[in-house]
Amino acid sequence: MLKVEHIFGGYHQTPIIHDISFQVGKGEFLGILGPNGCGKSTLLKMISGILNPTSGTVFIDGVPIEKHSPKELAKKMTVLPQIQSNAFSTTVRETVEIGRYPHQTGFFSSWSEEDEKAVVKAMELTDVRKYQNTNLEFLSGGERQRVFIAQALAQSSELLLLDEPTNHLDIAHQKQILDMLRQEVTEHGMTVVAVFHDINLASLYCDRLLLMEAGRVKAYGEPHEVIIDRQIMEVYDARISTQAHPEQPKPQMAILPDFEVPEKETMVSLSNIKKGEDYIAFIADFPLKVLSSAVHNAGMGWYRAFINRTVPPEYDIENVQNEFLQYLVHQGFSPTNTVGMMTAVDTKKAVIREYQASFGSLIVIVTAGVGNAIDVSLAYERKAFQPIGTINTWVIINGKLSDEAFVQGMMTATEAKSKALQSENVMDKLTNTIATGTPTDSLLVAATQQGEYMQYAGPITEVGKMIAKGVYEATVEAIQIYKREME
């Protein structure tokens, strides 16, 4: 559809674009990224024929751009430049209708049914039909931007060139416009080339990305090939970190700020533990980074409080999430700042241990109900699990963990827990083999993210050794308490 071959050029004597080549196939969405002034708009002007390259060629459907007549080109390609906030004296409908100009034939051509359909469809897709008789000057910046996108869509060309199409839009309209463009690309084979400042949106919606730096191609490929921490940091001179999108296989980035955090208490200790009537909690003055398999706020996040709550063995509530949330509010915990677990064990009997280490210190808190313990290797033999009896384990670290250290910490803690069951000879009653855990165990690893940085937390590291020792010792003791209670 579009092929750019070794183009160079700029304004007057100033070269801006240096040897840029790429191709965009039919039904593909390309995003152009790069810092302010790197030449994104200039490149778009060259692709659209507004600016001639000093050398190199732009091909549309295999034919050099200058060989297409202006009208032919306007049917093949629509350009939406950066929207300026000028005064406009036309109505929304009149503005969108301008998009049909390339389809008008001859001097006496009349407005066809097809023209009308295209205009109405474009206004509907961009949610501006309700303003069709309003003058543009009475619209907000974002509303006006949607009108110009409608004008571009009304042109019904196969190639759409957009310069920052969503920069004035709120998140709902960003999503609406980009979902709509994505759908036109995927379902109707439209080809879109768009300049983006928002790297996350570009990653999410584009098939491929072209990252520019000072008029040159720095990277070109699928989002995962372009949005790489080091590469983005180099080009934008800003600290960032990439992470997974929750639903799509498209990398997302977070800006890492460089502001100074005011000095305050950043260590946690046993004094952060609070015991309530039916719970044990850990409450810090600042949020800790947490990875957990809790009932409430599971996964990775930043939380100030953790709670392990005793529920009756017959606790069987349909909407556990909602009930837990009500409970937290009732007990005075912030539901958005608290990780919550449940157990049938009396949390007053929780085992609490603190270990000093060269990196800082580590607190382990365990409750263990092992009446329903199972051998995980034979779990497939069971038809149903009784949801009673749970081992809840917390590992709270004064130190800074990488993401892989969090995962290794979870593994190390799980292995130590299983070893404790083995040492205490806890049996799976059905299979008559040594149990490895219970069907509903929960685990939380938290770190203050201050002090010493620890890349790994397996048993070869000091922090891993402490996690293993702490979880093993605390779990053994918790199982012994449980056994004594049961006698």
Contacts with ligand ATP by CB under 6 A lie at: 11, 14, 16, 34, 36-42
Q: Which is nearer to ligand ATP, 38 or 281 (CB)?
A: 38
In terms of residues, how long is the chain? 487
- Containing H/E element for 483? helix 462-486
Nearest to 144 by CA among 195, 217, 90, 213: 90
Phi, psi dihedrals of residue 433, rounded to the nearest 5°: -120, 165
Bridge partner residues of 253 (DSSP)? 242
Q: Which is nearer to ligand ATP, 34 or 437 (CB)?
A: 34
Question: Residue 56: is it exposed, middle or buried by C-beta count within 10 angstroms (0-12/13-18/19+)?
Answer: middle
Q: How far is the CB of 272 from ligand ATP (least distance, A)?
A: 47
- Containing H/E element for 411? helix 403-423
Q: How far is the CB of 166 from ligand ATP (least distance, A)?
A: 14
What would the DSSP string read from start to end of 253-290? EEE---PPPPP------GGGEEE-SSEEEEEEEEEEEE
Q: How far is the CB of 82 from ligand ATP (least distance, A)?
A: 7
Q: How far is the CB of 226 from ligand ATP (least distance, A)?
A: 16
Distance (Å, whole) CA 283 – CA 127: 47
Q: Which is nearer to ligand ATP, 40 or 304 (CB)?
A: 40
Q: How far is the CB of 51 from ligand ATP (least distance, A)?
A: 9
Q: Which is nearer to ligand ATP, 16 or 161 (CB)?
A: 16
Q: Which is nearer to ligand ATP, 44 or 463 (CB)?
A: 44
Distance (Å, whole) CA 300 – CA 444: 10
Q: How far is the CB of 138 from ligand ATP (least distance, A)?
A: 27
Distance (Å, whole) CA 432 – CA 427: 6
Q: How far is the CB of 18 from ligand ATP (least distance, A)?
A: 12
Q: Which is nearer to ligand ATP, 234 or 485 (CB)?
A: 234
Q: Which is nearer to ligand ATP, 14 or 89 (CB)?
A: 14
Q: How far is the CB of 160 from ligand ATP (least distance, A)?
A: 17
With b for 16 or more beta-carbon neighbours within 10 A and e for fewer, the 409-439 pattern comes to bbbbbbbbbbbbbeebebbbeeeeebbbbbb
Q: Which is nearer to ligand ATP, 86 or 133 (CB)?
A: 86
**Tokens representing residue 45 in the block:** 């002007």
Beta carbons of 346 and 304 less than 8 angstroms apart = no
One-letter amino acid at 180 equals M
Nearest to 441 by CA among 478, 480, 484: 478
